[in-house]
A and B are shown apart, each in its own frame.
Chain A
Amino acid sequence: MSAVQVSTTVNGDAIDFVCQPTETLLDVLRNRLGLIGSKEGCGTGDCGACSVTVDGQLVCSCLVLGAEAEGRKIGTVEGLADGDKLHPLQKQFIDNAALQCGVCTPGFLVAAKALLDRNPNPTEQEIRYALAGNLCRCTGYDKIVRAVNAAARDVRKQQARKKR
């Protein structure tokens, strides 16, 4: 098998990489690009720990090939913070103690960001359903749901301020 060359954008940065045609996007991110935030909890699309966005769409990066990133925009947990300034979701996860072991956290953050991008004012039910693809074994989800709810409020405030 010959390696393929891929040009893509990751968290806003133009990036070229070479990978095997069978290699998953998750492996490319973790092993070739050093972006270890996305985790492999299963490798079979069951846990959501590897969640990233491809052109704004939430996907399990363990089910996507690296080669499929060609010409796309990839978003990972590493792209959420602006330098040292955490995204409201990240800040609320800390403030609400919405993480324990933290392995699920990057996936939840990416999934929650995708939710807020399309629905800035979700109900608790909508949050729970939007996060149904992400497993957490530690927290029982309640604090995660509260954190997303609080972050949604923060994001709405931010946007209102920008509009003014």
Chain B
Amino acid sequence: MTNIGSDLPRADGWDKVAGKSQYTVDYSESGMLHGCVLRSPVVCGRIVRVDVEAARSMPGVRAVVTATNVGNGRAGMLVRDQTLFADREIRHHGEAIAAVAADTLAQARAARDAIELEAESLPALTTMAQALASDAPLVHPDWESYALNPMAAELRRQGNVAGELIADPDGVDEAFERAHLVVEDEFCVDRQYQAYLEPMSAVARFTDGRCIVRTGSQFPYNIREELAAYLDVRLSDVRVIGQTVGGGFGAKLGCGTEGYAAVLSRAVGGRSVRVVKTRDEDIVTAPVRENAELRIRTALDAEGNMTAREFSCDMDCGAYGLETPTFPSILFHFAAGIYRIGPVRVHARAVYTNTPPTGAFRGVNGPAVYFAVERHMDNIARRLNEDPMAFRARHMLRDGDTLLNGQALADAHIAREACEAVQKSLPAVGARQSGDRLRGVGSATGFWVTNPLPGSVTITVGEDGRLHVLTGANDNGSGAVAMGLTQIVAEAMGVSTGEVIVGLPDTDLSGYDSGSQGSRTTHIVGKAALIAIDDLKTRIFDVARQMLPPGANELELVGGMVRAVGIGDAQVPLAAVFQMANFSNVSLSGSGTYATTPPAFTPGCAVGLTMPSLLTPTYHAHRAEVEVDSVTGNVRLLRYVVAQEVGRAINPDGIMGQIQGGIAQGIGFTLTENLRLVDGRYLERSLEAYRLPLAQDLPRVEVVLLEHPDSEGPFGAKGVAEPPLVFAPAAIANAVSDAVGKPFYKLPITPEDVLFALDT
């Protein structure tokens, strides 16, 4: 069949180009009200008084709610440290104080502006250093009383440290004592905003006592879980129905507007309420990528071999944990990169501060840790006067070598293959200068993973033989459902993609899914679909055998027909099989659930390890060529080459889109985007100020896809969406350092930084 490895058009393309796709912002229900949220102007403080009386009597206003009248249900990805509204304490700028529902949005906003908030400002912990000081007040004085979700069982917490990981293997100190050379670097990265084009939005109503929410979420089942916790109702009393997702990149995994829409609807007796964030509000409250400070020391022997490493990192959670407390565990796994180093001591902390919360952004923590590891590798190579790629090659893991958690990496050689591929496309020639322009090349390599969490699929044959696919997986825009899953089902069922209809997720109907995160959807949900198809095919064939000539034992599905292998042209259409099944008490539907089985690892390799192993690794090499204008400090990408291992490419064009889009986000993170905190408030509050890359800022990305089919993955596919972003900052920062001839330690690298480096 030709469904796998083909650039087939995405299933939702027609509606999207016609302007007909219904995103949450386009969805409305009759009698729907409009809601908005009052947010704290204060960075840290105590609420003295919230007076909503004036607001309540304004025209069109149907409800005003605050912490006092919605209850105090707590939710959170790992630690349930968050309430919908600030109760007494205000922990960050932009924290929700109250919400209003009114007939029109203008009325809701006018009423919100009429709410009188009196808040006493308190000294704020706006930096990690302040929060980690021994006499620092606690951002969450009650941290010990918070409930933990199952994923957080191993989490180590203490006061303002929301998550801590410590790995202290034997032999580190000895190796440093014996070291011939020690190279030490300190890095820091700033925050990054996901900047999906559709601001967060939700529509909620209550029907028959149950809360029904429509949202373009990446993870409807998590929205349901958080909402049930906030509303303090049974999980099954919440129904979350997915809408087309207008981009998310990790930000739409947890509740953004859903909770406010839900409590407002409850307050107005169940009428529908829509809440949409303004862009300014969205920037202030999005779970952006964490700012982090990273320190690495590596010991080397007389031959220039790495013999041990110390790696410490503090990452800023902001005022609530969201996903960030688990990032120290991610950092641990990648602290050695893909190299043989000897023992590695790791100390990583996620720190509460009085700043807007950080959370998941595509490639969680990866861009920061690989930026540090791969910049550090270049620095070591330079100290040794060795070519950076040759130095890497000398230390690269070999097949079967173990990672820091004791897990064996069976196919590490693919990373070498990737390095060779980028070297071939763009040979590194060393820094060059022509006039005011400085050119340089930089690389990065390593491995990344595919999120293993469970997903499920049910496939049903319809009356006309078409296939209806039910899954809780939502397409976040990547094409993982609209291309990946659709093509996998079509291939395995022997039909064209037009015969496959995938519905939007609905937590009442679709079966659990762990959300579009960690590049998992094509791999996990695709595999669940194949399991479902195994089940379904057995039923189809059992019924079809009754309809085919005797002796039709071996059957196959081709072009919407069930065909007997080896018996002339004996075949029956799927639609006919459905009719027969319908009157034979057979349901023509199959279900499958899949999660990756974790590999063996060494228990006790670290404490506070929330994710003990790495699953379905993929291998990567990036190389960037930049041109630095020594007069303006501007950096331009001349070429960008990626070699990415994908297992098996289901839709190469779709993968290209993921790579190009991921690189663009990496370029933004490294060079243009900037979300600066000044005393706990963001300086950049609009898309213009934030500076996303534009069409003319980006190079044409050259891609080499490496295929090494995964034995578990559907047709061999592995996750593809995150790695492009993970490795880009390191490669570009190495290229800029090469061009300028000075090392860069901080992201983003602004023109001012470049000019400063050139001047010193």
Residue interface bits B452-481, CB-to-A below 8 A is 1, else 0: 000000000000000000000000111100
Interface status of A33 (Cβ within 8 A of chain B): no
Q: Which of A46, A91, A95 contacts B686 (CB 8 A)?
A: A46
Within 8 A of A (CB), among B214-248: 244-247
Instruction: Point out the residues of chain A lying under 8 angstroms from B558, CB to CB.
Output: none
A41 touches B26 (CB 8 A): no
Within 8 A of B (CB), among A21-72: 30, 35-47, 49
Within 8 A of A (CB), among B427-447: none
CA gap between A96 and B656 in the complex, in Å: 11
CA gap between A17 and B184 in the complex, in Å: 68
Q: How many whole Å from B170's CB to the nearest CB in chain A?
A: 45
Interface status of B123 (Cβ within 8 A of chain A): no
Residue interface bits B663-682, CB-to-A below 8 A is 1, else 0: 11100000000000000000
Instruction: Point out the residues of chain A lying under 8 angstroms from B196, CB to CB.
Output: 101, 103, 137
Q: How many whole Å from B27's CB to the nearest CB in chain A?
A: 9
Interface status of A90 (Cβ within 8 A of chain B): yes
Q: How many residues of B contact A (CB 8 A)?
A: 53
Within 8 A of A (CB), among B645-689: 653-654, 656-657, 660-665, 686-688
Instruction: Point out the residues of chain B lying under 8 angstroms from A129, CB to CB.
Output: 695-696
Output the nearest chain B residue to A105 by Cβ-Cβ distance: B16
Instruction: Point out the residues of chain A lying under 8 angstroms from B698, CB to CB.
Output: 140-142
Interface status of B601 (Cβ within 8 A of chain A): no
A94 touches B17 (CB 8 A): yes
Q: How many whole Å from B664's CB to the nearest CB in chain A?
A: 4
Interface status of B22 (Cβ within 8 A of chain A): yes
Instruction: Point out the residues of chain B lying under 8 angstroms from A127, CB to CB.
Output: 695
Instruction: Point out the residues of chain B lying under 8 angstroms from A95, CB to CB.
Output: 9
Instruction: Point out the residues of chain A lying under 8 angstroms from B247, CB to CB.
Output: 100-101, 103, 137-138
Interface status of B133 (Cβ within 8 A of chain A): no
Residue interface bits A106-137, CB-to-B below 8 A is 1, else 0: 10010000000000000001011101101111
Q: Which of B20, B479, B664, B701 contacts A37 (CB 8 A)?
A: B20
Most chain B CB within 10 A, of A38, A103, A135, A145, is at: A103
CA gap between A142 and B665 in the complex, in Å: 13
Interface status of B711 (Cβ within 8 A of chain A): no
CA gap between A94 and B529 in the complex, in Å: 25
Instruction: Point out the residues of chain B lying under 8 angstroms from A81, CB to CB.
Output: 18
Q: How many whole Å from B392's CB to the nearest CB in chain A?
A: 26
Q: Which of A36, A43, A78, A137 contacts B279 (CB 8 A)?
A: A43
CA gap between A26 and B23 in the complex, in Å: 16
B657 touches A93 (CB 8 A): no
B477 touches A101 (CB 8 A): yes
Q: Which of B194, B657, B665 contacts A143 (CB 8 A)?
A: B657
Most chain A CB within 10 A, of B247, B656, B688, B692, is at: B247
Interface status of B13 (Cβ within 8 A of chain A): yes
Q: How many whole Å from A134's CB to the nearest CB in chain B?
A: 8
CA gap between A23 and B12 in the complex, in Å: 32
Most chain B CB within 10 A, of A44, A90, A99, A140, is at: A140
Interface status of B7 (Cβ within 8 A of chain A): yes
Interface residues on A, range: 35 or more
B16 touches A135 (CB 8 A): no
Interface status of B390 (Cβ within 8 A of chain A): no
A39 touches B198 (CB 8 A): yes
A103 touches B197 (CB 8 A): yes
Interface status of B19 (Cβ within 8 A of chain A): yes
Interface status of B161 (Cβ within 8 A of chain A): no
Output the nearest chain B residue to A44 by Cβ-Cβ distance: B686
B19 touches A94 (CB 8 A): no
Instruction: Point out the residues of chain B lying under 8 angstroms from A46, CB to CB.
Output: 279, 686-688
Instruction: Say yes or no: A132-B694 contact (C-beta < 8 A), given A36-B22, A46-B686.
Output: yes
Instruction: Say yes or no: A101-B696 contact (C-beta < 8 A), given A46-B687, A140-B701, A143-B657.
Output: no
Instruction: Say yes or no: A139-B657 contact (C-beta < 8 A), given A38-B19, A42-B686, A102-B244.
Output: yes
Q: Which of B17, B656, B687 contacts A41 (CB 8 A)?
A: B687
Interface status of A97 (Cβ within 8 A of chain B): yes
Q: Which of B13, B195, B249, B695 contacts A99 (CB 8 A)?
A: B13
Output the nearest chain A residue to B652 by Cβ-Cβ distance: A97
Instruction: Point out the residues of chain A lying under 8 angstroms from B696, CB to CB.
Output: 125, 128-129, 132
B660 touches A143 (CB 8 A): yes
Instruction: Point out the residues of chain B lying under 8 angstroms from A152, CB to CB.
Output: none
Instruction: Point out the residues of chain A lying under 8 angstroms from B657, CB to CB.
Output: 97, 100, 138-140, 143
Q: Which of B14, B199, B688, B701 contacts A44 (CB 8 A)?
A: B688
A142 touches B479 (CB 8 A): no
Instruction: Say yes or no: A103-B694 contact (C-beta < 8 A), given A81-B18, A140-B664.
Output: no
Q: How many whole Å from A39's CB to the nearest CB in chain B?
A: 7
CA gap between A78 and B17 in the complex, in Å: 9
Most chain B CB within 10 A, of A43, A44, A138, is at: A138
Interface status of A76 (Cβ within 8 A of chain B): yes
Output the nearest chain B residue to A102 by Cβ-Cβ distance: B16
Instruction: Point out the residues of chain B lying under 8 angstroms from A4, CB to CB.
Output: none
Q: How many whole Å from B749's CB to the nearest CB in chain A?
A: 19
Instruction: Point out the residues of chain B lying under 8 angstroms from A38, CB to CB.
Output: 19
Output the nearest chain A residue to B9 by Cβ-Cβ distance: A94
CA gap between A35 and B657 in the complex, in Å: 28
Residue interface bits B585-617, CB-to-A below 8 A is 1, else 0: 000000000000000000000000000000000
Interface status of B424 (Cβ within 8 A of chain A): no
Instruction: Say yes or no: A142-B701 contact (C-beta < 8 A), given A97-B9, A101-B196, A103-B198.
Output: yes
A90 touches B17 (CB 8 A): yes
A39 touches B197 (CB 8 A): yes
CA gap between A45 and B686 in the complex, in Å: 10
Interface status of B25 (Cβ within 8 A of chain A): yes
Instruction: Say yes or no: A93-B17 contact (C-beta < 8 A), given A41-B687, A42-B279.
Output: yes
A36 touches B653 (CB 8 A): no
Interface status of A10 (Cβ within 8 A of chain B): no
28 A-B residue contacts at CB 8 Å? A36-B22, A39-B197, A46-B686, A46-B687, A78-B18, A94-B10, A94-B14, A97-B479, A100-B478, A101-B196, A101-B244, A101-B476, A103-B197, A104-B197, A105-B19, A131-B695, A132-B696, A136-B197, A137-B197, A137-B665, A138-B657, A139-B657, A139-B661, A140-B657, A140-B661, A141-B695, A142-B698, A143-B657
B residues engaging A (CB < 8 A)? Answer: 7, 9-10, 12-14, 16-23, 25-26, 194-199, 244-247, 249, 278-279, 476-479, 653-654, 656-657, 660-665, 686-688, 692, 694-696, 698, 700-701
A residues engaging B (CB < 8 A)? Answer: 30, 35-47, 49, 76-78, 80-81, 86, 90-91, 93-97, 99-106, 109, 125, 127-129, 131-132, 134-145
